[in-house]
Structure 1
Amino acid sequence: MTEAERRLWSRLRGEQLGVKFRRQHPLGRYIADFACLDPKLVIEVDGSQHAEQQEHDAVRDAFFSAQGFAVLRFPANAPFLNLEGVLQTIATRLPALHVPISISPRKGDEPYTQAYGVSP
């Protein structure tokens, strides 16, 4: 883990933003710097080498997107120059990723607890 990743991790771990992040999390053949599985968000902290591997990053991002993940990329100096701004960007993105699931009973359907004798 780079110093930039350590700095960001110190503020992501322990559900400080209200969700659980994992560091160095494998997804397919890739390893995400940070991944939140619910909602699905990958955060990448890019060093200078990423300027030369934009095609690789695009393929990687496409894979993450195909798995349902949104991807946020930050330059490696961002956690040092503006950590609060990075955290605010992440915090702003998280609510947009929550997809509320609402299951309404069809007309005539009994609630699960009544139909199956389950106590609430």
Structure 2
Amino acid sequence: METTYLVCYDIADNGRLQRVCRFMKGIGLHLQYSVFLCRLSWRELVGLKVALEHLIEPSEDDVRIYPLPSRSLVFALGRGPEAAEEGLSLAAEAFGEKDVDKCVEFSPELDQT
């Protein structure tokens, strides 16, 4: 059985940061600079953890892996659907929601830029 995870990281060294980012692009959906959405089995999660342990420097870097509920609302604030439409559609599908409008709410009036 697969579970959806949010993987976030803060990597101190630029070289390690690039390696982690390249690796994660092969694993999940790149949502923001250091944030990925991944659907993984338990075995894949363990493999991800082991691989990341080899890519980072534990005394300098920080990686967090958060399991997400199987059915969740996804809210996106800011640039709107045209800026991340593909990623949001994939994120919605990762949660099992076929109708993206039910899963994603945009609030452009909150964007102060």
TM-score (norm 1): 0.27
Greater share of strand? 2
In the superposition, the TM-score normalised over structure 2's length comes to 0.28
The structure whose Rg is larger is 1
